[in-house]
Chains A and B, each alone.
Chain A
Amino acid sequence: MSKLYSGAEIVFKCMEDQNVDHIFGYPGGAVLPIYDELQNFKSIKHVLVRHEQGAGHAAEGYARSSGKPGVILVTSGPGATNVVTALTDAYMDSIPLVCISGQVPTHLIGTDAFQECDTTGITRPCTKHNWLVKDINDLASTIHKAFEVATTGRPGPVLVDIPKDIQFQKTKYSKPKKEKKLNGKSHNHFNQNSINELIELMSKSSKPIFYTGGGVINSGPKASELLRELVYATGFPITSTLQGLGSFPGDDNQFLGMLGMHGTYEANNAMHDCDLMINIGARFDDRITGKIDEFSPKSKKVHIDIDPSSINKNVKVDLAIVGDVKTVLSSTLKSLKQKKSKFLKSNKQKTSRWWEKIQKWRSVRSLDYIGSEETIKPQYAIERLYELTKDKDSYITTEVGQHQMWAAQHYKFNKPNRWMTSGGLGTMGYGLPAAVGVQVAHPKKLVIDIAGEASVLMTIQEMSTAVQYNLPIKIFILNNQYMGMVRQWQELLHDKNYSESYTAALPDFVKLAEAYNCVGIRAKTPEELDDKIIEMLNTDRPVIFDCMVDKVENCFPMIPSGKPHNQMILGPKDQENKKITGKGKSLV
Chain B
Amino acid sequence: MPNSKSAYSFSNKKEKFDTHIIVVWVDNEAGVLARVVGLFSGRGYNIESLAVAQVDEKLKISRITIVTTGTPQVVNQIKLQLRKLVPVHKVADFKREDKAVIFKEMALFKIVGPNNKLEGALKACKKFNPVLLDKTKKSNVIQITALRREIDKMSKDLKKFGLVSVSRTGAVAMTRGADIFK
Binding site for B on A (CB under 8 A): 120-121, 124-125, 128-129, 132, 134, 149, 183-185, 286, 289-293, 307-309, 311-313, 316, 561-562, 583, 587-588
Contact = CB atoms under 8 A, between A and B. Distances in A.
16 contacts: A121-B34, A125-B38, A184-B83, A286-B9, A291-B9, A292-B11, A293-B11, A293-B12, A309-B81, A309-B84, A313-B73, A313-B77, A562-B9, A583-B10, A587-B8, A587-B9
With most chain A CB atoms within 10 A of its CB, the pick from B8, B11, B35 is B8
B91 to A, nearest CB: 11
Contacts of B89: 183
Contacts of B81: 309
Interface of B: 6-13, 30-31, 34-35, 38, 42, 73, 76-77, 80-81, 83-86, 89
A124 B8 contact: no
Given A184-B83, A292-B6, 6 more contacts: A128-B84, A128-B86, A134-B30, A286-B9, A293-B11, A313-B77
What 5 pairs across the A-B complex have the smallest Cβ distances? A309-B80, A129-B86, A286-B8, A125-B42, A308-B80
A286 B42 CA distance: 18
Contacts of B11: 292-293
A312 B76 contact: yes
Contacts of B10: 583, 587
Nearest to A156: B84
B75 to A, nearest CB: 11
Nearest to B29: A131
Nearest to B31: A120
Nearest to A588: B8
B9 A124 contact: no
Contact of A124 (B7, B12, B35, B73): B35
A125 B40 CA distance: 11
A308 B89 CA distance: 16
Contacts of B80: 308-309, 311
Contacts of A311: 80
A128 B39 CA distance: 12
A309 B9 contact: no
Contacts of B9: 286, 289-292, 561-562, 587
Contacts of A587: 8-10
Contact of B86 (A125, A149, A293): A149
Contacts of B42: 125
Contacts of A313: 73, 77
A220 to B, nearest CB: 21
Contacts of B77: 309, 313
With most chain B CB atoms within 10 A of its CB, the pick from A185, A293, A309 is A309
